[in-house]
Structure 1
Amino acid sequence: MRGREQQRAFETLLREHQRIVFKVVSVYARHPEDRHDLTQEICVQLWRSFPSFDATRAKFSTWMYRVALNVAISQMRRPPRQEEPLDPQELEALGGTAEIAEQDERLDALYGFIDQLDPLNRALILLYLENRSYAEIAEILGISETNVATKISRIKQKLRNQMTGATPVGA
């Protein structure tokens, strides 16, 4: 595939899977300018990496998550800006404002918990909440399925402890 044909194929796939970019951006960036910058950087890196995408080795969505998460984790090294809520257009792109508008304190607490996770665990929980299989999470993050299961179990326990106010064993 060369030139125009490659560009059309990329644009089609990007359009079909754009929600992946929006979800990764929503987890890793809070300030509007940071979200915009991260979205642009992810798209640029996807385009640069597209010639190396091999559909026989991975689904496009898996490959796209891998690239997007790598870019987002790299961007986390930058100093954060003042937090602002997502604007209505971004909320709509993430799946509609109806569900998001009904957020309660528990959901806010969950987002706060996710914000406190290190970059790898943040990526892991994002993919888990997307109902990705352990095998797919392992492939995207480059870790074993056993490691995925262990990390998810630990994150869930830590969340349970935080939500119930329990003190973890050994703390």
Structure 2
Amino acid sequence: MSTHRFPPASLIRRLAAAFYDSLLVLAIWFLGTLIILPFARGESFDAENPLFLLYLLLLTGLFFGWFWWRSGQTLGMRAWRLQVVSPEEAQAPPPNILIRVALVLGLIVSGLYGLVFLVMDTWPDWWGAIALFPLLLSMSWSLVDAEQRCLHDILSRTRVIHIPKT
């Protein structure tokens, strides 16, 4: 018997919220690039520039960290009535949120590189499969976990709950 007040979030709801958030992150990347564009002296940014990629990753981490720290919900999670909480359904503590942000950023990088490798003709398709593996493993773990937690939930000692309409 579960002692939790709210049910765990389903994988479908989590993916839907992630899609919403990916659109917001893309907008943040555009805005972030616009902000630093004057410092490029009229030159375009190299997509492989590690400092530029690190800057975009930092913006993404700030987006997720800020929302999870403030309310446990990103805007996409709010739309789908999901919330990141501690295992006791209290607000997740900052160290757990930092771990969660780091893990999610790693999964984002894994997913983006996996997609790039799958699309590019110069790399074998199995490079894309290898790069996508951490993301797919973490998300699909929720299908076998009794509490429907992804691996990044378990490692950060957090849960994602579904808050029903009242």
Query: So what's the TM-score if we normalise by structure 2?
Result: 0.36
Larger relative contact order (C-alpha < 8 A, sep ≥ 6)?
2
Q: Say which structure is richer in strand.
A: 2
